[in-house]
Structure 1
Amino acid sequence: MSYKTILVHVDESNRSDLRVRIAAEIAKAENAHLIGAAVTGVSRFIYQDGNISASDPNLAIHLKFLRERAEKAVTGFKNIAEKYGVTSYENVISNDEAGGGIGLMARYSDLVVLGQTNRDEPSPSVLSDFPEYIVMNSGRPTLIIPYASDVTTVAKRPLISWDASRESTRAVTDAIPLLKRADLVQVAIFNPSSKPDAHGEQPGADIALFLARHDIKVEVSVHKTSTDIGNAILSLSHDLDSDMLVMGGYGHSRFREMIMGGVTRTILESMTIPVLMSH
């Protein structure tokens, strides 16, 4: 199993170059094709009611500005891809908002790389629930890069938050190409007694064996906590000096609004290391 197509979202934010660097390093290691995708931020549905026309001079000026901003983002992507020696790459500009444009392209990719929402640096082309939307709707593993910390390595010391759910299973399986290159994978299980049938007599034994068969070096730890599990995961990742968290993403959509589970919401809001999520 390997990643052969990696999609990275690029934009005008301060952390876009970091996302591209991480995506480029993974693409080079996996010998994968790398796609840098920018969006104009205007939904493709805007013209469907017939009330708005691209021939409107005021709209045309605004669309030109949005297009030029996207072109600047993909130029930065190309420079970094070349710098890091990625042999197969392309850049794409989607005339759409981020959720729609990136979400569609994600379905033809093995891994999506994007940034955590920074509410102090709102983007005119990206809605605040963009990461959640991609996790829940793309059907692909999503590697989310934090905005508040410098990332020097990814997946050398990963931490898996394992709860034996379908979502967690999907995330671990999706992360295998990264986990195989890790020095040591830590598997953490919180409050296994709450799901005894799923974890079995020895919580963590089955997932450790599964990973070992992929030649992945793994250690398992079991934790009991009465506090918020999301914060407990973040605290443990700090104590272990982890450089990536792997976990299932939980939630559902109501119209366009994303309703996320408590642990997922905590991680997405407070993460300090890259998080690979699958739903």
Structure 2
Amino acid sequence: MAIKDLLVAYQGDEDSKHALRFALQMAKKYGASVTGAYVFAPEQYESQIRHWIGADFLKQMRQVQLEAVAGIEASFLAAVQETAPEVPHEWVSANGPPGLTLARMSRSFDMLITGQFEGAVRMGGRAVQPEEVIVRSGKPLVMVPKGYSIRPFKEEAAVAWDGSRSATRALTDAMQILETKKRLDVVTVNSSSEEAILGWAGEHDIIAHLKRHSIDARHVPLEIKGSLGKTILSYCQESDPDVLVMGAFGRGKLGSLLFGGVSQYILEHQTVPVLMSH
């Protein structure tokens, strides 16, 4: 299935503007449309306070909130017009728990693009945890790092690979992107540490699989330096791929929303766009 519609979490700040520019660049390459999305959380008052709040005050607060959303929409439209007015685009907003609502919205799109998560981003005044969005959405999430300078695609990508279900899911979700790249580095980390990616299993199988999709894939083994996350990101700083593809690595029980240390480290220190799925 081709990439045809991209959802961008947008709230008018610099981080979401970087994400939007990246999404517009992708849209131009793949002939896709871009939809800006903003979720504003409903106002919550303690029950004892709510009893004393009048209807006029609530109406006024609602109006202020709607005006703020209208301002964010105007910022989105202006940014599109400045960067890539030829790209089909639209705007949607919703009221609800930001993480869950954003995850549900993304199900109707090919992928969700956001600014960098540093523990959590904020939307509608509330924290949005990346693991909640990734686990609940069922779609890939692309995170664009802070201060990322949009450049022409090198048409090179990297995949952090350990043969696990999550890595396989991310690779499959990214295939429409990877099939357009001139080169793909399949990165593994060699270490006896429990934190490290667990060995290199199926080396011939995964490379052969990718080559059947006409992808110029090569195996890049790395020796661990400091930590697994740091090792992967050090490689990315040197090679500067268009995107790093990885599974949402974790150690919790099945269905847990807790990320492992590797995922958290990469989300907090990423220097290239990261495509992650679960």
Take 1:173 and 1:231, find their aligned partners in 2: how far apart are those partners? 24
Q: Deviations over 1:81-100 (max 9, x none)?
A: 44514453321011123212
Equivalent position of 1:96 in the other structure: 96
Q: Deviations over 1:59-117 (max 9, x none)?
A: 33333222222222222323344451445332101112321221111111111001113
| Deviation (angstroms), 1:55 | 7.0
TM alignment of 1:100-111, pairs within 5 A? 100-111=100-111
Q: How many residues align?
A: 269
CA distance in structure 1 between the partners assigned to 2:3 and 2:135 by the alignment: 20
What is the SS of the residue equivalent to 1:276?
strand
Question: What's 1:179 paired with?
Answer: 178
* 1:11 aligned counterpart, secondary structure: coil
1:69 corresponds to which residue? 68
Q: Give the Cα separation in 2 of the matches to 1:216 and 1:153.
A: 20
Distance apart, 1:12 and its partner CA: 2.7
How far 1:182 moved relative to its partner? 2.0
1:6-21 matched pairs, under 5 angstroms: 6-21=6-21
- Matched residue of 2:275: which SS? strand
Aligned ranges 1:124-139 → 2 under 5 Å: 125=124, 127-139=126-138
TM-score for the superposition, normalised by structure 1: 0.83
Kept in 1, the 8 Å contact 2:191–2:224? The answer is: no
Question: Contact conserved, 2:15 with 2:116, CA < 8 A, in 1?
Answer: no
**The residue matched to 1:70 in structure 2 has which SS?**
helix
**Shift of residue 234 of structure 1?**
0.5
Q: How does 1:248-259 map to 2 (within 5 A)?
A: 248-251=247-250, 258-259=257-258
Alignment of 1:163-202 (within 5 A): 163-191=162-190, 195=198, 199-200=201-202
Note the C-alpha offset of 1:5: 2.2
Gaps of 5+ in 2: none
Say whether the 8 Å CA contact 1:13–1:123 is kept in structure 2: no
In the alignment, residue 33 of structure 1 is paired with which amino acid?
S
1:235 deviates by 0.6
C-alpha separation in 2, matches of 1:155 and 1:168: 23
TM-score normalized with structure 2 length: 0.83
What's the counterpart of residue 274 of structure 1? Answer: 273
Q: Tell me if the contact between 1:8 and 1:20 (Cα under 8 Å) persists in the aligned partners.
A: yes
Partners of 1:262 and 1:117 lie apart in 2 by: 14
2:170 & 2:156 partners in 1: Cα distance?
16
Q: Which amino acid aligns with 2:7?
A: L
1:199 shift after superposition:
0.7
d(CA) in 2 for partners of 1:29, 1:85: 14
Q: Does structure 1 retain, via aligned residues, the 8 Å contact 2:103–2:134? A: no
Amino acid at match of 2:201: H
Deviations 1:220-270 (A, max 9, x none): 11123263111110011112122321000134889xx94211111111111
State how far apart, in whole Å, the 2-side matches of 1:122 and 1:274 are: 16
1:33 offset after TM fit, Å?
3.1
Quick one: distance in 1 between partners of 2:141 and 2:40?
Answer: 21
Which residue number corresponds to residue 33 of structure 1?
Answer: 33
User: Which stretches in structure 1 are left out of the alignment for 5+ residues?
Assistant: none
Secondary structure in 2 aligned to 1:222? strand
CA pair 210-192 structure 1, distance change in 2 beyond 3 A:
farther
Q: Which moved more, 1:267-276 or 1:222-231?
A: 222-231
Distance in 1, matches of 2:189 and 2:249, equals 16
Q: d(CA) in 2 for partners of 1:124 and 1:9?
A: 9
Give deviations 1:112-148, integer Å, cap 9, x for gaps.
00111357x9746254443222112111000011114
Q: Aligned-pair distance for 1:189? A: 1.0
